[in-house]
Amino acid sequence: MQKRSRKNRVHVEKGWYTKEKMKTELKWSKERIKAAVAYCTDMRRVKTHVRRDKYERNIKEYWVDVQTTGSFEDENEEALIDRTFGEGEASTFDLGLPASDLHSPGGEPAGDESDREVEEDFDDGVSARIPGKAEVQKESTLEDGAIDNVGSVMQNLLRVQTRMEVVRSKLEEIATAEAKETPSTCST
């Protein structure tokens, strides 16, 4: 399971300022004030960026960007969730592979006409075999079955390992007990 998220945040501080406030509060230069007024009084923005002062109707206020800040977050998360359950005995491993025909060379079923065999004359007498489409599909299906069965195989292997560790511990105890009972035959 993979998760990826990206966040772009832009914070623009804006406000209504007169030319005088731009000069005193924002400490903008004359050129900057002139550019802001030109931007706000453009025909496309004049209705939304210019207004008259509420108390002194002869003073114009301009909607200007004071400061722009932003942040960018990029988060990648990867998780692997594996839940494996299995039942059975260690002797019942099923890898999902078919039983091979022991009478045909290489464990291949005898008489399969879909394979093409190509024999080329090499100095050492080696012949090359090109698998047919049916064999490739069969092998792919077998691999899928083996992959599906890996969990139960691993579970059975862990059971066998645990049993072997218990037996090994018991054998060590037996060997230690025998060593204590048998008199030492070493002479110095």
The whole model's pTM is what?
0.38
Q: What is the pLDDT of residue 72?
A: 86
Label the pairing between strands 116-118 and 128-130: antiparallel
Using 50 as the pLDDT threshold, list the residues of the chain that sit under it. 101-123, 186-188
- 99-146 pLDDT, tens digit per residue, is 554 444 444 444 444 444 444 444 455 555 566 666 666 666 666 666
Label the pairing between strands 2-17 and 60-78: antiparallel
From 151, 153, 131, 152, select the one nearest 140 (Cα to Cα): 131
Q: What is the pLDDT of residue 25?
A: 95
Six-digit token string for 67: 């400061």
Contact status, residue 151 vs residue 94, Cβ threshold 8 Å = no
Residue 90's CB: how many other CB atoms inside 10 A? 13
